[in-house]
């Protein structure tokens, strides 16, 4: 079994090697929701000029997509108030029906399995394309903050995508390390942000409903 890479240390090394000057490098940050973005924004904003890319057509139903987007916008007001960082937000059109065509062949895949890997890469690739087309110096995803998502997998996807993007570098990360996940949870609670109970797609939505129903049956 291959030895795990410490992507947290790699991220610190990359930050340490950034050119010092008035201009911060531009980072396009794929973000899936406000709670996941809490700590990572405090990690990257001191070192980068950050723009969030909220391309999450995987989320079902549409009301959930917009609720998570509204919570993200709320978080950005707190980040401005408490940390002084202005973070731009780009929201491409939501199209769950078209998006799910790529995931349908993996409908029976377990949570965290092949279907999820396809979903991670699909969103990251779209966001990376935007970063490259719009002159960003770096691209990364917030998803390494989640304990349900394997940071080794996320960063391997980023490494793969970097090879097809000649201008924009991939910023390796593991935001859950060094208490990042705990800090983010505490921030989410302090700000009173809505904390969703499933990852996003209709398959995870149905699995969450089944879990809740099973829990009620045990009561």
pLDDT in tens, 14-39: 999 999 888 999 999 999 999 999 99
pLDDT at position 1, please? Answer: 56
* Mean pLDDT value across residues 103-113: 92
pTM: 0.95
Count CA atoms within 13 Å of residue 34 on its CB side.
27
- β-pairing verdict for 49-53 and 88-90: parallel
Cα–Cα distance for residue pair 48/213, rounded to 1 Å: 44
Bridge partner list, 89:
52
* Mean pLDDT value across residues 62-73: 98
The class that CATH gives domain 7-218 is alpha beta
Give the ranges where 134-175 is alpha helix by DSSP (H).
151-162
**Domain boundary assignment for the chain:** 7-218
Q: Give the whole-number percent of the chain exceeding pLDDT 90.
A: 89
Cα–Cα distance for residue pair 119/61, rounded to 1 Å: 16
How long is the chain? 219
Residue 193 corresponds to which tokens in the numbers above? 């942000």
Residue reference for tokens 């935007």: 130
Q: What is the pLDDT of residues 135-160, one digit of tens each?
A: 999 999 999 999 889 999 999 999 99
User: Taking a C-beta distance cutoff of 8 angstroms, is the pair 112, 147 a contact?
Assistant: no
- Of 59, 50, 91, which is closest to residue 73 (Cα–Cα)? 91
Cα-flanking dihedrals φ and ψ of residue 181, to 5°? -65, -40
pLDDT band at 56 (very low <50, low <70, confident <90, very high): very high
- β-pairing verdict for 138-141 and 49-53: unpaired
User: Taking a C-beta distance cutoff of 8 angstroms, is the pair 125, 92 a contact?
Assistant: no
pLDDT at position 219, please? Answer: 66
């Amino acid at each position: 079994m291959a030895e795990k890479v410490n992507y947290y240390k790699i991220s610190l090394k990359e930050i340490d090697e950034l050119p010092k000057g008035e201009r911060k490098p531009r980072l396009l940050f794929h973000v899936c929701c406000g709670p996941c973005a809490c700590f990572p924004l405090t990690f990257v904003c001191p070192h980068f000029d950050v723009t969030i890319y909220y391309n999450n057509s995987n989320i079902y139903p549409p009301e959930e997509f917009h609720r998570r987007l509204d919570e993200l916008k709320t978080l950005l007001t707190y980040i401005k108030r408490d940390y002084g960082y202005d973070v731009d937000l780009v929201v491409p059109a939501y199209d769950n029906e078209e998006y799910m065509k790529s995931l349908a062949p993996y409908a029976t895949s377990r949570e965290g399995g092949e279907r999820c890997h396809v979903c991670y890469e699909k969103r990251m690739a779209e966001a990376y394309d935007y970063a490259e087309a719009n002159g960003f110096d770096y691209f990364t995803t917030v998803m390494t903050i989640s304990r349900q998502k394997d940071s080794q997998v996320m960063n391997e996807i980023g490494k793969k995508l970097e090879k097809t993007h000649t201008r924009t570098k991939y910023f390796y990360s593991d935001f859950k390390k060094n208490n990042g996940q705990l800090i983010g949870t505490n921030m989410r609670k302090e700000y009173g942000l809505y904390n969703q109970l499933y990852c996003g797609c209709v398959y995870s939505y149905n699995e969450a409903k089944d879990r809740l129903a099973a829990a009620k049956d045990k009561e």
